Structure 1
């Protein structure tokens, strides 16, 4: 018997929203950015009063060259801080873009590459414009050469890890996995920034500014990816044009 009714269209996929943890980080970044902006309008060259206090609190009172905590903690912080360095972040971006390319996610790969590279260039420009000297209240435990504000490790790690995580949520399902991914990324970016203070190479406000900048940057590129996926005239490959929120 021939069918008399057309097959019902499959229901549209639900709109996927960025995890609430990411929005929470964005609001926190906005608050920090406002506070830092007010302080730098008053005196752009002078660190906040608590900057030096925090760095001294992370060292032994009788010897500021020795950090607080067990001996292994210093080595751990050196290893952790490397996760926000140029070499590791470049490898992360190359691996992520390569994975997306072999998965035929062309536009997502392009967004990851464009967002992370442009973000790194923006951070370098900001450091040159601010030209803030490195902390001198405690000895540095690792070698540094560039300007202090904002923290390049904090900003670039947030840009790379958060941007990749944000854009991956637009081409993957399973809310639990996406939430877990963001939780891991936020924790990783946090400890990288803390390591810069522990090693005495950045003022706390450098780190706060880096976190804020990187979070805003990742949110911006997530929004660009969202627009491309839902805009009817965007040149997005069909297999990547998924409803996102």
Structure 2
């Protein structure tokens, strides 16, 4: 019975559900205009660090998190997975995570139609604000890579370093959007949560696929 429930309700599925609930909570708060205090406090803190050096740093991370760079990094990562590790299923997983996240972001932006901040913009950009596309892309890319690479890192220290590096990229890219004045903090956090929902859902399906494949291979050997 325990194994049955474990197979039905895994950690990844639970994480996906919790992420979705958090996203819905943020979306409802935006609709009711109840999240402005959270946005104002974080905007004031992050933009309060403004300096020429910090601006260049934030522009660099926004550039890394932009569409073209995400595509390039994804292609390079897929080449490494294929050429050095000989993995093909991982390529399909990573591509599904990134493509799905991009399409989901486009649909949600149109559905919510939230205007971007207009106060103290350092760069100019068009389009809707919620959820942040940079935040969703960075979470999907670096979260997906961390999931795939985890089992190939033998040491605990190496795994911790990988997780810290992934988290640093994700958080800094999101922070750069707030610093540059093109997103509210709730756009960024909402992007993290809905992207997390999508990523964990993909992980659940991917693991189920591997389990079924392993079962079929075992059956063929009997």
TM-score (norm. length: structure 1): 0.72
For residue 145 of structure 1, what is the aligned residue in structure 2?
Answer: 126
Report the CA distance shift for 1:50/1:235 in structure 2 as closer, same or farther (over 3 A). Answer: same
The answer on 1:39 being equivalent to 2:21 is no
Does structure 1 conserve the Cα–Cα contact (< 8 Å) formed by 2:114 and 2:129?
yes
Offset from partner CA, 1:119-174 (integer Å, 9 cap, x none)? 111111111111100012x221112112100011111110111112212335x242
For residue 182 of structure 1, what is the aligned residue in structure 2?
Answer: 163
The answer on 1:49 being equivalent to 2:37 is yes
**Structure 1 portions without partners, runs of 5+:** 1-19, 60-66, 239-245
**Number of residue pairs aligned between Structure 1 and Structure 2:** 205
**Structure 2 portions without partners, runs of 5+:** 1-10
TM-score (norm. length: structure 2): 0.79
Q: What displacement does 1:235 show?
A: 7.9
Cα distance in 2 for partners of 1:190, 1:58 equals 12
User: If each structure's helix is expressed as a fraction of its own residues, which one has the higher value?
Assistant: 2
Report the CA distance shift for 1:199/1:185 in structure 2 as closer, same or farther (over 3 A). Answer: same
Larger radius of gyration: 1
RMSD: 3.0
Does structure 2 conserve the Cα–Cα contact (< 8 Å) formed by 1:228 and 1:235?
no
Report the CA distance shift for 1:215/1:175 in structure 2 as closer, same or farther (over 3 A). Answer: farther
Q: Which of the pair has the greater relative contact order for Cα pairs under 8 Å at 6+ separation? A: 2
For residue 110 of structure 1, what is the aligned residue in structure 2?
Answer: 92
For residue 174 of structure 2, what is the aligned residue in structure 1?
Answer: 193
The secondary structure found in structure 2 opposite 1:231 is helix
100, 105, 108: which one aligns with 1:123: 105
Q: What displacement does 1:30 show?
A: 5.7
Moved over 4 A (4+): 25-31, 232-236
Offset from partner CA, 1:88-125 (integer Å, 9 cap, x none)? 11011111111222232111111111221111111111
